[in-house]
Amino acid sequence: MGNSKKVFVFDDNADILELCTIILEDAGFEIKTSSTSNQIVDQVMAYMPDIIFMDNWLPDVGGIDATRELKGNPTLKGIPVIYFTANNDVKSLAEQAGADGYLSKPFDIQELENIINKHLGI
């Protein structure tokens, strides 16, 4: 499919990245993963995803600052950012970051697909 949607997942947990990759490729998405949010704007510019998943606990630049940086960038601010973390406070963290939505970990496959479909209007 030439028109498959692109998802970018930022998480420092390799197991989560692998799980997301398997689930999303299976669902027909293209996926790129990164374990660091350093140079977040450059990383996202190079891939131009349709949607971004952002973990809270990232080395160096945390998820909140990384999300704010994306939302402050005129080219990238329209890309939905879904905040996802095992933190109980995921909703307020997502609000602080200015994210477009949130997903608690552990998540189930259906939740992951639902939130993507919702934000991409699929």
Strand, coil or helix: what is 120? helix
Q: What is the CATH number of domain 6-120?
A: 3.40.50.2300
Residue 9 confidence (pLDDT) above 60: yes
For residues 104 and 84, what is the distance between their CA atoms, to the nearest angstrom? 6
Which tokens in the block code for residue 10? 């930022």
> What are phi and psi for residue 98, nearest 5 degrees?
80, 25
Confidence (pLDDT) at 88: 84
Q: Report the chain's C-alpha Rg in angstroms.
A: 13
At 35-63, the pLDDT tens digits run 999 999 999 999 999 999 999 999 889 99
List the domain boundaries for the chain.
Answer: 6-120
pTM over 0.85: yes
Confidence of residue 2 (pLDDT cuts 50, 70, 90): low
| pLDDT tens, position by position, 66-87 | 999 999 999 999 999 999 988 7
